[in-house]
Chain A
Amino acid sequence: MRDLDVYEGKALRVIAQVKRGDVGRIAELTGLNEDQVRKAVQGLKERGLVTLTVLERETITLGEKARELASKGMPERLIVDALDQIGGRAELIKLKEQMDLGESDFSAGLGKALENDWVKIWKAADNKTWVETTGKAGVKSVEELLIQALMEKEVVSTDDLGEGEEEALKRLLRRPRFVEVATTRTEMVEVTALGEKAAEEIGVEEVEAVTTLSPDLIKTGRWRYVAFKPYDLNAPSFPIFVGRRHPLRELIEEIREIFVSMGFVEIGGPLVELAFWNFDALFQPQDHPARDMQDTFYILDPEASEIPDRDLIDPVRRTHEDGWETGSTGWSYRWSLEEAEKLVLRTHTTVDTVRDVYEAGETPRKSFVVGNVFRNEKVTFKHTNEFFQVDGIVIDERANLRELMGVLSEFFRRLGMRKVRFWPSYFPYTEPSIQASVYVEKLGKWIELLGSGIFRPEVTMPLGVRWPVLAWGGGIERMAMIRYDVEDIRDLYRNDLGWLRRIPKRLSLP
């Protein structure tokens, strides 16, 4: 036996594998074209390795006209339906006018309806032609049934037609463009026992090794006959950069969630503030070192602005000078309006909470603010001249020191910090004052994170509030540094893309 040629070999391997298939499929699977396959099959057949059977079949598909009508129905059906709607009887001319069928469809439909004995026609004495239903149109005609079947299956072989359907086909074929009959030819190839043995003998072809599974390989099915080169599973991957939040922002967003979930309302305020609100309203005396140009940024232009809350000026002035009605001694100095009208970059977000006290008045309220604040400091590994703070307040007639500690404890717990310690502290605007520290396991030490207290009456009374107001605040960078193991605060603002892209995400686990 002469050796199989390349095409024969390819074809035989495929045929042996699929056992049976038409030329088209073998062509797909081998990647040869159909003529090449036919030639090869001829050679294989001569050697008794495969058999070839040619099948011819007639198939019926819906014609153009039937598709067009499909959504509405056959014309004869439309005529009967139309008649039924107008009482079963009509003058022929009127019916024709009324129905939106073309001339030819109407005539054909009427003919069919008569043939099916669905309607009858007669001429009346006045010479008008009338049409009337017979009441027998309730059953679908054989044509209708066949068209329905074709719509469902698309292709039907003539071999599969039932008795009634053959009759229907004949009838439909008489009507132009309703159905089409075509002959298809299938060349089925089947492997013989000899062929299987031969396939085994020639063995597996040295298969093509591929790197990429291309769309072409998938579409043609050739993937079955190729080998995929193995990869080094740990080879470096092409980098994909996740769009991520800045770590500091991630913490800020989390802090916002925490306070909202604790029932706090978020507030805000501008960066450029009146010294009046930033300091005076917080009972910080005008010669307090924190108000010095060395510590606070003052705006160059405009340098000052009028205090819109005119009615507050006098109570605040008096409170500073002699305590006003607050029961305090005050700071005993001459308060200057000019100093209070200066514009500063806010040095703490407490400016926003204290204004909120004024705006809310004696109403039970819990609010918080997150924002950037400014201190005219030299930038070092420990301090930046701009940083984020969170501040919060609780206004309530019943508010007390224990509740202040409660808010702070719960806040820390939600940030995943369970060991909290409270120590006495000092702020000019709170009394009692508390500093809250947390124990950071990985650093093995206590870190002070929040300052807090109950606003002094010298702060709240000029604002019209005699109720206790719990207040706290602190820098967010320090919390971020603990969380992200940052030792130099400036690194948070260095925006090194490598760091931002690769720093592992940290979640709070309360």
Chain B
Amino acid sequence: MAQEDSETPVVTLEAERFSKFLGRSVTVGEIAEKIPWMGVDIEDVEEESIKIEYNPNRPDLGIITGLAKAYRGITRQEVGLIPYEATGDGYRLIVEESVRRVRPYVASAVARDIPMDEETLIEIISLQEDLHEGLGRGRRRVSIGIHNLDVIEFPVYYRAVGGEEVRFTPLEEEGEMSPLEILEGLEKGRAYAHILEGSDLYPIIVDAGGNVLSFPPIINADYTRLSPDTRNLFFDVTATDMRTAEKVLNVLLTSIIDYGGEAWSVSVEAPHYAKVTPDLSSKEIQVEVKAIRTLMGLDLSNDEILDSLRACRLDGEFIDEGKIRVLIPPYRVDVMHPVDIVEEVSIGYGYWRIEPTFPRTFQIGEKDRRRSFLSSVSEVLMGLGLQEVMNLTLSSMEEQFTKMGLEPGDHVKVKNPKSLEYEVLRRWIIPDLLEVLRTSKKEQYPQRIFEIGIVAYRRQGVQEENHLGIAVTHGEAGYSDAKSILDALLQVLGIEARGEPISHPSFIEGRVGKIVGEGRDLGIIGEISPHVLEGFQLDHPVAAMEMNLEELYNIYLEKTLGGAGVDRS
């Protein structure tokens, strides 16, 4: 849980401007206290402003108008659903067959008489970018063009053309370019070219006068550029699916007409569909009242439920059979299921008012047996005076193999590491321990350390095992240092094992053995080769051991339980 998206969108709210949208004066302090009630996080609080993070399921909170609307609700300044409406005025967008294989869907709308100024424009553009990243999935799924309506001649056409078929001046550029030139030559083009990869046709939106308005999902034309004086807007929202296109359009359009002004519809006419967009009507969902009460664990009255919903700018009416019909405004694109309404009621009611109670579910607690065994092994080693260390499971090929004098073999690599330090799941623990000794060279000797952790390798898929690694270093460290620890550990566990001579490039020849117990290979023990020590820049001898704790655990179970309950999972 708690998977934080690395790029959670952020909005900065100036208390003064926010007050203007609320219609009452609020302080940064009040915003900081109450805004989290609606489910947005505070990233930073400054003297005059506050930086908030909103969740990707609520793009309507990505702009000051949407935030004000929700804030008025949650503070009970103004509650209930705001109706939206778009009227037709003969705007047409003709979709041609050619876009079907490239980017088949488009939704469109017009907004007129927007009280535009510089700040408003910046806020709108910022929401547009957030929608591109979030619902638009980096423009792959949806991209938005916002244009100056006044220069456009209707009907507008959405078609796909060859890479050199048209030329136009892209936004903020001088001189005309073809789609191919844009993809190769402009920063925006290169950034989004992958979306159109594999197609030899390029979508463009062009007006009746032959002016190119945009080249979705890459860039708009300079011709319809917005300025702080642009009061009338035309929107094209192209997409790989119609539903998401309409969601995006609704969020954007309602946020904009919240500034003032009016929405107008566009008739989208395609060979494969025809639709008047936007659809700004409220959606309905029926929810069982009992389900709300049970899931919340609160016996709320009908009034309390309705009040809570209205605080979230929803509305509803109780109907037969213990149900409530809930009305959802067009900008709420997150409601998929009746449980989403339960959350709205909880938020509207206020999480802070809900009193926690411990679950009634009765069960006897129990630790995992295997982990308890691992803990016991740790305890023995700590009793022997060894210090536990913890390293990451991700490691480098260099450390795991090259520095240890080994040829890589059955290791498990990841595809796309951000750094080569973390390219492989570790195959064994001893290299990590040598690295610890290297970083602790200035610390007092003797140094005796151990680690219990997971290693992985390929054998009929990926195998994972818990291993124990130990390392001992001091001026006269040698094989017997490791052997003493091994013997003590085995004695405590009541297991017999012995070392059988082997050759291993990481260890000194003649001072390295395979640990064999009950006829099974349990690990390796020996003195680290000076060649390896040099590679880790170590100047004291090191005795080390690595054991497969899964095998040791199985033997232990066989010994203590006579084989009953041995799990080999």
Q: Answer whether A497 and B346 are a contact pair too, CB < 8 Å, given A245-B378, A253-B375.
A: no
Which chain A residues lie closer than 8 Å to B241 at the CB level?
A: 332-333
Q: How far is the CA of A386 from the CA of B513 in the complex (A)?
A: 33
Residue B90 at the chain A interface, CB threshold 8 Å:
no
- Nearest to A240 among chain B residues (CB) is B385
B1 x A451 contact (CB < 8 A): yes
From 52 to 85 in chain B, residues with beta carbon under 8 angstroms from any chain A beta carbon are 55-58
Residue A246 at the chain B interface, CB threshold 8 Å:
yes
Residue B414 at the chain A interface, CB threshold 8 Å:
yes
B388 x A244 contact (CB < 8 A): yes
**A interface, by DSSP: helix, strand, loop or mixed?**
mixed
Taking the closest CB of chain A, its distance from the CB of B472, in whole angstroms, is 12
Partner of B351, one of A407, A423, A501: A423
Which chain A residues lie closer than 8 Å to B199 at the CB level?
A: none
Q: Which of B1, B295, B361 has the most CB of A within 10 A?
A: B1
A406 x B365 contact (CB < 8 A): no
Taking the closest CB of chain B, its distance from the CB of A329, in whole angstroms, is 5
The segment from B210-218, B313-321, B366-374, B525-533 found at the interface with A is B366-374
Which chain A residues lie closer than 8 Å to B360 at the CB level?
A: 396, 398, 403
Q: How far is the CA of A430 from the CA of B337 in the complex (A)?
A: 12
- Nearest to B297 among chain A residues (CB) is A400
Taking the closest CB of chain B, its distance from the CB of A220, in whole angstroms, is 34
From 463 to 484 in chain A, residues with beta carbon under 8 angstroms from any chain B beta carbon are 468, 470-475
State the interface size on chain A (CB cutoff 8 A): 119
Residue B519 at the chain A interface, CB threshold 8 Å:
no
Q: How far is the CA of A259 from the CA of B363 in the complex (A)?
A: 11
Q: Answer whether A451 and B2 are a contact pair too, CB < 8 Å, given A366-B361, A396-B361.
A: yes
Taking the closest CB of chain B, its distance from the CB of A504, in whole angstroms, is 15
Q: How far is the CA of A501 from the CA of B387 in the complex (A)?
A: 8
Residue A43 at the chain B interface, CB threshold 8 Å:
no
Which chain B residues lie closer than 8 Å to A432 at the CB level?
A: 295, 339, 342-343, 346-347
- Nearest to B344 among chain A residues (CB) is A432
From 282 to 305 in chain A, residues with beta carbon under 8 angstroms from any chain B beta carbon are 287, 289-290, 293-295, 297-303, 305
The segment from B94-102, B155-163, B435-443, B496-504 found at the interface with A is B435-443
Q: Mark B315-344, 1 if CB is under 8 A from A, else 0.
A: 000000000000000000000111110110
B417 x A297 contact (CB < 8 A): yes
Partner of A400, one of B294, B393, B439: B294
From 341 to 360 in chain A, residues with beta carbon under 8 angstroms from any chain B beta carbon are 343, 345, 347-348, 350
A297 x B416 contact (CB < 8 A): yes
Partner of A289, one of B5, B347, B389: B5
B351 x A422 contact (CB < 8 A): yes
The segment from A27-35, A50-58, A108-116, A454-462 found at the interface with B is A454-462
Residue A379 at the chain B interface, CB threshold 8 Å:
yes
B382 x A244 contact (CB < 8 A): yes
A259 x B337 contact (CB < 8 A): no
B356 x A409 contact (CB < 8 A): yes
Which chain A residues lie closer than 8 Å to B436 at the CB level?
A: 495, 497
Q: How far is the CA of A327 from the CA of B383 in the complex (A)?
A: 57
Residue B191 at the chain A interface, CB threshold 8 Å:
no
Q: Answer whether A405 and B337 are a contact pair too, CB < 8 Å, given A426-B56, A472-B1, A493-B391.
A: no
Which chain B residues lie closer than 8 Å to A332 at the CB level?
A: 241, 243-244
18 contacts between A and B (CB under 8 A): A239-B444, A242-B382, A242-B385, A262-B365, A264-B365, A272-B464, A289-B5, A299-B412, A300-B414, A301-B412, A332-B241, A385-B394, A385-B418, A406-B359, A451-B3, A454-B295, A471-B1, A501-B443
The 6 A-B residue pairs whose C-beta atoms are closest, nearest first, are A473-B1, A400-B297, A424-B39, A451-B2, A426-B55, A243-B382
* Sample of 13 further A-B pairs with CB below 8 A, known A407-B358, A494-B439: A266-B367, A271-B393, A328-B337, A332-B241, A348-B1, A386-B392, A386-B422, A406-B356, A424-B38, A432-B342, A435-B2, A452-B1, A456-B337
